[in-house]
Structure 1
Amino acid sequence: LSIFFGIANFTLVIPLLNVLFGTTDTHTAVAPAVLPAFSFSIDYIKGTFNFYFAQMLAEHGKQGTLAFVCGLIIVSVFLSNVFRYLGGRLLARVRARVVRNVRGSLFGRITELELGYFSNERKGDLISRLTNDVQEVEISVVNTLTAVFKEPLNIVGIFVLLFSMSARLTLFSLVLLPISGGIIASVSKRLRRHATISQTTLGAMLSVIEETLGGMRVVKAFNARPYVVEKFEYQNDLYARTTQTIDNTRDLASPFSEFAGVTVVAGLLYYGGSLVLGGQAELSASAFITYIILFSQILTPAKNLSGAFSNIQRGLVAGGRVLGIIDTKSTIQ
């Protein structure tokens, strides 16, 4: 519903521009004589709006119609934000429950394993999985829900409306999408590889810390401080370099998506503008402006989607490390 009212906010720009520029004949000419029968379709929404728009124009003139359209925009924005808030509350609830269950299952499984398991595994790595990896899973849950539910529905909803406005322009805009998708997929694959190294290195670094603190008397007795410091610095430098590589690669996805989107918008402006100027377009000037505004709104969810897929890669690696313990079979039955 938040997506529906969010898209409706921009479609109301067409009648607003028509009222301001004195081209309201577009709505009155297609307005039905009676209120259309209810149905889940764009035609029903358009017919209902044109019906009330024509009535308002006939009874209250352009000034009253302008107030009517502005009031609809306010109501639509209000409802969009209300449902967005409710969606955020639902997302927070799902995230909290998932992370609670994962952390509880992981800790419970660790306490069930036999003592021999802890002789083969580093304590620091186990602590890293119980804390850092679970936190990465929490972040990944949010990104996954965003990538799977919210943003795709937003993009699909906008594209459906764009197709209903102009199929020719919308098909023209889809040329660069496969190229963008291929590059983003390549970035995601590289991120997952570096995320595996990062999480493993963090576990090894925590193991060095735990072993050093637990055996400080031995370190002091054998004057092993240089060896311990060198071992820690190696893991610390490796983790820092890997993290920097991950950040650099992840930050590349979002700007590229925005650049590709702006490139398509510029192409649409030139191609669609040429059609409008040549009188060959099926859109009026106000509808074309609204079309461009609507298409530009795809940039935000597309950028969020590419960023979410990039951030999910670390969560997938962390989730694999967590499940590696949960799925461990006890050798003692």
Structure 2
Amino acid sequence: MHREKVDVGDWRQTVRRLWQYLVTYRIRLIVVFLLTIVTTVVTVVGTRINGIVIDRYIAHHQVRMLMIVCGAMAVMYLIASIFTYFQNSIMIKVAQATSAAIRHDIFANLQLLPMRYFDTHDNGDVMSRLTNDVDNINTALMQTFVQLFTGIISIVGMGIAMLILSPVLTGITLLGSVATYFFSRGIAKITQKAFMTQQQALGSLNTQIEESVSGKQVVQLFDHVDDTMATFDATNRDYTQAAFRAQALSSIIGPFNNMTNNVVYVLITAVGALSILGGNHLITVGIIFTFLIYLRNFTGPINNLLDLINTLQLSLVSAQRVFEVIDAEPERDVPNAAQMLTTKGQVTFDHVSFAYDDTRVILKDINLTAAPGEMVALVGQTGAGKTTIMNLLTNLYPLQSGRVLLDGQDVTMLRRADLRHLITVVQQESFLFGMTIRENLRMGRPEATDAEIEQAAQAANAHNFISQLPDGYDTELRENASALSQGQRQLLSIARAFVAAAPILVLDEATAAIDSNTEADVQRAMSRLMTGKTSFVIAHRLSTIQAADQILVIDQGQVVERGTHEALLAQNGEYAELYNSQFEG
């Protein structure tokens, strides 16, 4: 929605960026502005009438006029209260709508960010920006924007009224305001850094919580509860200390401002009293009374904003963190990316090299050609680079050198949406979303019929256990289907791939979590599924790939052997060693 980037390290530009969201609701803001002017005028006029009442009616015992004026003032203040309610109500709606827009922008960009971004950012910190930081912005808009908006108008209105009433007393007020301004400005520079540290510590805390909850079974099985608690306590302590420092620094401003205001009150009272005692008729008791109320309404908004300095500073820091994600460079198709709706399935890796960073080379000069309909198997030790090869086929990461071709076209020059509709990947660690089984299976092809979904589930050997669930295919899954076994979750992932019916299949240890009996059924189903399709199978169980048209042995990012099962056994090389080690005895 709002793509104009700014330097989020500058709080002024951060405010400007937030204003880009708020200006969408300019009509409502104008209404709030007009209502604020009305309430400010009512306050100024009502306060001046208070002073006149003291000098004219109370001093001269005019009770009837006093009652009339008091009744009129009551009506004015009632109207002002109604207007204040409406302006607060409007601003709450604007704040909620703005937060929703920001939340939409950050979530939308998260869907488009490349995998490299998530490799370098903790999940907990990303989640903290999407939830906690956006909530901080929402709180600031609801709590402080109205006060900031009304405060500026009130300060201007009261300042003009005080200047007209008594320039001398106004000069005393300005001295106190200047002292408060410079002190607050100096503290704000320090607290902004402190609040940034606080939010970073909160991101680390959320990361640890997310890891602990996701890995709770591992923690218990390895009796790691005490160590986990110790680590959590340390992280929690760091966050608490960072939050205390930020809050403590920002809380200095309020007491200083109160002290300054009290000094100003004393000076104004003393100067006014001395003027009256000296026979100065320009200053009366009513004027002093009126001026003190003006002063209260002048310093009140300043006091409120200073009291809310924590929220303001925290919201600015949160806005900076949110905009960092919104401005992160998403995956983009190259200009004039080619459309490819169908494919023969010819895949070529032409001298492909890849590194996640400059110091960690993963693949070195990979050459591979898969003819349409062929089954290609990738084997090797864990961490050899097998999965990375398949990630490059789907264009999840940029290449350092070489090309990956589909039907002779560079995959980086194709539309990503087209490419990923042509390739279905079944990962080793299945992931299912919080929706029904039917909706999960339909993700690969939304237009699939119920009959096609059930047929795919039968082919994946998942239909029987699905039918035994209380709601069958309409069973709602929660927390990555934690109520199902790991093998059942993997069967659903395989069934989802069957539904997608893509011409190219990537099976990344797809049967690793399935028992031997079930694996035999799934292998037969996969053989039927792979008929006529180009298939890539990453496997540690070498018994599952003996029928592959070609097998590539990957070692430290390089292809060290290639050939059929029989040919590689005859070479008596690394593949033969891997195979024989699995079937010893």
TM-score, normalization: structure 2?
A: 0.48
Equivalent residue in structure 2 for 1:19, among 57, 80, 83: 57
Does structure 2 conserve the Cα–Cα contact (< 8 Å) formed by 1:2 and 1:82? no
The equivalences for 1:99-138 within 5 A come to 99-138=99-138
Higher strand share: 2
Amino acid at match of 1:293: I
Q: How many residues align?
A: 295
1:3 aligns with 40
2:470 aligns with none
Does structure 1 conserve the Cα–Cα contact (< 8 Å) formed by 2:91 and 2:146? no
2:145 aligns with 145
Cα distance in structure 2, aligned partners of 1:263 and 1:86: 36
The equivalences for 1:210-221 within 5 A come to 210-221=210-221
Q: Deviations over 1:214-244 (max 9, x none)?
A: 2334434554444433322211001111212
1:158 aligns with 158
Cα 1:293–1:303 change in 2 (3 A) is same
Q: Give the CA deviation at 1:255.
A: 2.4
Q: Deviations over 1:64-98 (max 9, x none)?
A: 32222112211111111111111111111110110
2:252 match: secondary structure? helix
Q: Give the CA deviation at 1:122.
A: 1.2
Does structure 2 conserve the Cα–Cα contact (< 8 Å) formed by 1:137 and 1:318? yes
Does structure 1 conserve the Cα–Cα contact (< 8 Å) formed by 2:187 and 2:250? yes
1:84 match: secondary structure? helix
Higher helix share: 1
Q: Deviations over 1:106-141 (max 9, x none)?
A: 111112223332222211111111111111111222
Cα distance in structure 2, aligned partners of 1:227 and 1:238: 17
The equivalences for 1:198-217 within 5 A come to 198-217=198-217
1:247 aligns with 247
1:315 aligns with 315
Q: Deviations over 1:134-167 (max 9, x none)?
A: 1111122235524542111111111111111111
Cα distance in structure 1, aligned partners of 2:148 and 2:268: 28
Q: Deviations over 1:192-233 (max 9, x none)?
A: 111111111111111112122223344345544444333222
2:172 aligns with 172
Cα distance in structure 2, aligned partners of 1:274 and 1:294: 20
Q: Deviations over 1:18-47 (max 9, x none)?
A: 211118xxxxxxxxxxxxxxxxxxxxxxxx
Point out 4+ residue stretches in structure 1 off by more than 3 angstroms. Answer: 216-227
Cα distance in structure 2, aligned partners of 1:96 and 1:258: 32
Cα distance in structure 2, aligned partners of 1:116 and 1:288: 67
Cα distance in structure 2, aligned partners of 1:116 and 1:84: 49
Cα distance in structure 2, aligned partners of 1:182 and 1:104: 38
Cα distance in structure 1, aligned partners of 2:148 and 2:300: 15
Cα distance in structure 2, aligned partners of 1:84 and 1:319: 27
Does structure 2 conserve the Cα–Cα contact (< 8 Å) formed by 1:147 and 1:308? no
Taking every aligned residue pair, what percent have the same amino acid on both sides?
A: 22
> Structure 2 unaligned runs (5+)?
1-37, 334-585
Q: Give the CA deviation at 1:189.
A: 1.8
Cα distance in structure 1, aligned partners of 2:216 and 2:309: 43
Cα distance in structure 1, aligned partners of 2:217 and 2:65: 83
Structure with bigger RCO (C-alpha 8 Å, 6+ apart): 1
Amino acid at match of 1:240: T
Q: Give the CA deviation at 1:297.
A: 2.9
The equivalences for 1:65-80 within 5 A come to 65-80=65-80
2:175 match: secondary structure? coil
- Relative to structure 2, which stretch is displaced further, 197-206 or 180-189? 180-189
1:283 match: secondary structure? coil
Amino acid at match of 1:21: A
Cα distance in structure 1, aligned partners of 2:288 and 2:147: 29
Cα distance in structure 1, aligned partners of 2:295 and 2:41: 15
Cα distance in structure 2, aligned partners of 1:326 and 1:246: 26
Cα distance in structure 2, aligned partners of 1:169 and 1:117: 59
Amino acid at match of 1:8: V
Does structure 1 conserve the Cα–Cα contact (< 8 Å) formed by 2:136 and 2:311? no
Does structure 1 conserve the Cα–Cα contact (< 8 Å) formed by 2:125 and 2:203? yes
Cα 1:293–1:147 change in 2 (3 A) is closer
Cα distance in structure 2, aligned partners of 1:129 and 1:313: 16
Amino acid at match of 1:131: T
TM-score, normalization: structure 1?
A: 0.82
The equivalences for 1:72-91 within 5 A come to 72-91=72-91
Cα distance in structure 1, aligned partners of 2:221 and 2:289: 77
Cα distance in structure 2, aligned partners of 1:209 and 1:70: 59
Cα 1:213–1:263 change in 2 (3 A) is same
Q: Deviations over 1:275-296 (max 9, x none)?
A: 1110135122322222223223
1:296 match: secondary structure? helix
